[in-house]
Amino acid sequence: MKLVVIGFGQCGSRIADEFARLNKRARSTRRIEITTGAFAINTDAADLSGLSHIKPDYQHRILIGGRKTGGHGVGKINELGAEIAKEDADKVIDAIRTAPHFFESDAFLLIAGAAGGTGSGSIPIMTQYIKERYMDKPVYNLIILPFEHEETSEERTIYNSATCLKSANSVADAVILIDNQRYVRKDFSLRNNLAQINALIVEPFYNLLCAGEEKKRKYIGSKLLDAGDIIQTLVGWTVMGYGKSQLPLFRFPCGGRNFRGKSTETHKGIQAMDEAISELSLRCNPADSHRALYLLSAPAKEMNMDMVKELGNYLKDVLPEAVIRNGDYPREKGLMDITVILSELSEVEKVRNYYIKSTTFLHEIKEREEDIGRKIEGVEESAKDLPSLL
């Protein structure tokens, strides 16, 4: 599957930069292209300068709203971010068209942080514009939810997240939810933690996108999982999971394969699947999903029918209501990994909580503004008899 990847705001642009890195990796190690273009859109010029892999020209790193923000961002006001996106939408559309292989794209992936200003405000607007222009290609949103400390210390965070999620869900074909808090490593520095989180967010996409673009016969799976399967799976609220098991690089002959070796292989697959389900990108009840897929990737000799059957039974027990698609990709060396997508979730508790808290926040803001207005009127009333120098 080939994607046009577009990141909005600081968070979205940095993850789009990771997708550009992923494409370079696929091109150098597998001779495969998995993105037809990677773009970063922002109102802050400094953030655009901090990227590493997206091309540095003005058609790939696009500054919008320069007249209104002076290139210094929107200060977490996502209404302003949405307004700027409406004004500069054509600039983004024209830049996307410059990608040499744009019409080979299977879908669009738009990325943003839910809590910010530029990304939160612009991603639903640009999703709507792109869907109107390219009706034959699905448009997916990858939305990053804030850290717990941001939710508790910044009032605007939850409001921005709620309005972004509501707007995006109304226009995107699917919204893939990523909870930043699930990826935090306590012993990393701030810079390394954020870089590690971004890398972990994009890693599950690598084999998933490569599998359908593989050209070498020996690496094409017995059951190929390609763009059609992914498009049929991604609908509405969506989460992802990724699990892996290390395999020995060398096997010593032991007089034929015995039952213990076969049992160990199956156990490795179950272990990877269990990790993928337990480490989903957002805490949810897997049984609430109605569509799902999984991709098993390992050396060809490590995959067998018994393992595929066990994995299928495992997932069906966890997702009793879901239509499940699966595939294999005989590519990895010394590793067995599984990518899982759970889609069309009927209940997402965290999103519901954002909506409830934001409604309360709006009432509090209204009361606060009325209180401030009354106090200002009182001060002005006290000064009404004083002469003015103006």
What does DSSP assign to residue 284? -
> Is the pLDDT confidence value at 149 over 90?
no
Bridge partners (DSSP) of residue 245 are: 336
> Is the pLDDT confidence value at 157 over 70?
yes
Q: What is the pLDDT of residues 277-305, one digit of tens each?
A: 988 999 999 999 999 999 999 888 888 88
CA atoms of 49 and 329, how far apart (whole Å): 37
pLDDT for the residue 258? 55
CA atoms of 58 and 287, how far apart (whole Å): 45
> Is the pLDDT confidence value at 255 over 50?
no
> Is the pLDDT confidence value at 190 over 50?
yes
Q: Is residue 31 within 8 Å of 25, Cβ to Cβ?
A: no
Name the band, by pLDDT with cuts 50, 70 and 90, for residue 186: low
pLDDT for the residue 202? 93
> Is the pLDDT confidence value at 113 over 90?
yes
Please provide the CATH number assigned to the domain covering 240-343: 3.30.1330.20
pTM: 0.88
pLDDT for the residue 268? 83
Name the band, by pLDDT with cuts 50, 70 and 90, for residue 256: very low
For the purposes of burial, counting CB atoms within 10 Å of the CB of 92, is it exposed (0-12), middle (13-18) or buried (19 or more)?
buried
| Highest-scoring range by mean pLDDT, 84-88, 356-360, 370-374, 385-389 | 84-88
Q: Is residue 39 within 8 Å of 123, Cβ to Cβ?
A: no
CA atoms of 110 and 160, how far apart (whole Å): 17
CA atoms of 127 and 124, how far apart (whole Å): 5
CA atoms of 93 and 118, how far apart (whole Å): 17
Q: What is the pLDDT of residues 45-67, one digit of tens each?
A: 888 888 999 999 988 999 998 77
The more confident residue out of 157 and 386 is 157
The 174-179 sheet, strands edge to edge: 61-63, 35-42, 3-8, 107-113, 139-145, 174-179, 236-246, 335-343, 291-297, 323-329
- Any residues with CB less than 8 A from the CB of 365 and at least 6 apart, and which? none
For the chain, the structural domain boundaries read 3-202, 240-343
User: What are the angstrom distances between the C-alpha of 185 and each of 37, 265, 318?
Assistant: 31, 30, 28
User: What is the rounded average pLDDT for all residues in the chain?
Assistant: 86
Name the band, by pLDDT with cuts 50, 70 and 90, for residue 175: very high
Record the tokens describing residue 234, joined without a space: 């991604």
CA atoms of 366 and 360, how far apart (whole Å): 10
- Per cent of the chain over pLDDT 90 is 46
CATH topology of domain 3-202: Rossmann fold (3.40.50)
CA atoms of 153 and 119, how far apart (whole Å): 20
Phi–psi pair at 193, nearest 5 degrees: -60, -50
CA atoms of 127 and 125, how far apart (whole Å): 5
Return the beta strands (E) in the chain as ranges: 3-8, 35-42, 61-63, 107-113, 139-145, 174-179, 236-246, 291-297, 323-329, 335-343
pLDDT for the residue 262? 55
- Of 294, 291, 287, 295, nearest to 343 by C-alpha is 291
For the chain, give the number of residues. Answer: 390
Angle at 189 between CA 186 and CA 195, to 5 degrees: 95
pLDDT for the residue 73? 78
The more confident residue out of 368 and 147 is 147
> Is the pLDDT confidence value at 84 over 70?
yes
- Any residues with CB less than 8 A from the CB of 322 and at least 6 apart, and which? 289, 290, 291, 292, 342
Q: What is the pLDDT of residues 207-250, one digit of tens each?
A: 999 998 888 888 888 888 889 999 999 999 999 999 988 876 65
SS3 296: strand
